[in-house]
Amino acid sequence: MKELVALILAGGTGTRFSPFSRDKLLFPFMGKPLVSFTPVFSLPKTVNRVVVVSNDKNKEWFIDANFGVPHTVIVQNESNGMADAVLTAEKEIGNARLLICIADDLFDAALLSTVVETGQKENVFGVLPGWKTKTYFPGGYLVQDGKRVSGIVEKPGEGKEPSEYVNISGHYISDSDVLLNALKTTKRDTDDVYEEALTGLMQEYEFSMVPYTGRFQSLKYPWHVLPIMDTLLSGIAEFRGENVIIKDHVVLEGQIHIGNNVKIMEFTKIVGPVYIGDNTIVGNNNCIRHSMIGANCITGFNTDITRSYIGDSCWFHSNYIGDSILEENVSMGSGSVLANLRLDEGEISSIVKEKKVGTGRTKLGAMIGNNVRIGVNASIMPGIKIGSRSFVGAGVTLAADLGSDSFCKNKPQLEIAKNSKQLNPTARDQFKTKL
């Protein structure tokens, strides 16, 4: 049997992941990069070798990574789709069986083993997982022909799905040369050359499907950090680091990971699952629910953090942070708010590459890059993105995305007049009696 090569697609520029400056695969969760939680680090034992198609931001990380088997790292920065990504690795994957994984697809790692085993057992040319999902998914759907898969239809539209099964990564291909040839000869007049090539091969070769009903998540847009965080939080264990100080009058509920040297101040409630990184101080009178908070943060007095991702070195003070994502070293002045709900309570959309994209969420706060400063009493509207190294002035209501390296403030708008009003010296005494 040919060598089994896991081809991990981890390249591309990830422009849709703005305002976050990190490579999305290296976006840290609980102190570790996202990719370390994905199936590509739980590959089947039958894999002989790993080839990674990386980009400039994550190349070094992948070079240093340990897959348990030998691995090679190739760089592909321009993002020309999956077919080109596979072809970039052509010299490293000839005359092999392939297990092709998109690195930011998150699903149960056992699926990969099942896919490979099915390929060997059924002795078919290819095996694809088919993800059964209740709601329409804007991706490719598998066409079934008896036991076999006979095509992939991209974005068929709701109600027009050819089957219940969505095409997700983890593809087993028994002959890499046949695939490479098909990728080269398929017309470039579509965004979906890879899927077209597979559909072409399906007319000639047998493809099986492994039905899959587990979780599937992908990190394309910045707001996808939140459901991934939810998944990772749901598995955290109760943990208390060294030198943790929990003051009196603190209420801890549910599973909470508390890192080394963390302090939690009085009159604060934390409702797990919550992760708190090393050296972080959770201030007085806080309420923290279902969130990840990085290392070296100070939440300050009277802060409410709910269903949010907070990177390292963030400072807060009497803020509301709901359903928001803050990359790193973000500070918010007293009273500033990351709103997470439209007044009409409708779906929150976001502008990505100049196009409006529905987020599928009615609760979504801000997405903020690193080294951002937000002034006191500023209001950031739901779904707004703020680029790295930008400042938002005091009292600003920010209702559109703000790019990186920007300073945004209110135009001067004050009227100053002589104050002709007199204070009634006894008014206060009257108020006091009503206290």
In the bound state with a second copy, the residue whose beta carbon lies nearer, of 2 and 363, is: 363
In the bound state with a second copy, the residue whose beta carbon lies nearer, of 357 and 408, is: 408
Instruction: Say how far apart CA 25 and CA 23 lie, in whole Å.
Output: 6
Find the shortest distance in angstroms from Cβ 15 to a second copy.
21
Amino acid letter for position 101: C
Find the shortest distance in angstroms from Cβ 246 to a second copy.
13
Using alpha carbons, select from 308, 334, 332, 303 the residue that is nearest to residue 320. 303
DSSP β-bridge partners for residue 282: 264
Instruction: Say how far apart CA 55 and CA 342 lie, in whole Å.
Output: 37
Find the shortest distance in angstroms from Cβ 365 to a second copy.
10
Find the shortest distance in angstroms from Cβ 285 to a second copy.
5
Residue 23 Cα to chain centre, angstroms: 11
In the bound state with a second copy, the residue whose beta carbon lies nearer, of 4 and 396, is: 396
Instruction: Say how far apart CA 106 and CA 392 lie, in whole Å.
Output: 34
In the bound state with a second copy, the residue whose beta carbon lies nearer, of 344 and 354, is: 344
In the bound state with a second copy, the residue whose beta carbon lies nearer, of 39 and 322, is: 322
**326 near 309, Cβ under 8 Å?**
yes
In the bound state with a second copy, the residue whose beta carbon lies nearer, of 172 and 309, is: 309
Find the shortest distance in angstroms from Cβ 429 to a second copy.
10
Find the shortest distance in angstroms from Cβ 20 to a second copy.
18
Cis peptide before 162 (omega within 30 of 0): no
In the bound state with a second copy, the residue whose beta carbon lies nearer, of 33 and 283, is: 283
In the bound state with a second copy, the residue whose beta carbon lies nearer, of 28 and 375, is: 375
Which residues have a Cβ under 8 Å from the Cβ of 95 and sit 6 or more positions away?
Answer: 2, 3, 176, 177
Cis peptide before 227 (omega within 30 of 0): no
String of DSSP letters for 48-81: -EEEEEE-TTTHHHHHH---SS-EEEEE--S---
Find the shortest distance in angstroms from Cβ 345 to a second copy.
4
In the bound state with a second copy, the residue whose beta carbon lies nearer, of 14 and 369, is: 369
Helix 193-202 and helix 176-185: axis angle, to 10°?
Answer: 120
Residue 345 Cα to chain centre, angstroms: 23
Instruction: Say how far apart CA 172 and CA 101 lie, in whole Å.
Output: 9
For 117, phi and psi rounded to 5 degrees? -60, -40
**194 near 170, Cβ under 8 Å?**
no
Tokens found for residue 111 = 């699926």
Which residues have a Cβ under 8 Å from the Cβ of 87 and sit 6 or more positions away?
Answer: 180, 183, 184
Find the shortest distance in angstroms from Cβ 251 to a second copy.
5
Tokens found for residue 155 = 């974005």
Find the shortest distance in angstroms from Cβ 61 to a second copy.
23
22 DSSP assignment: S
In the bound state with a second copy, the residue whose beta carbon lies nearer, of 237 and 435, is: 435
Find the shortest distance in angstroms from Cβ 224 to a second copy.
18
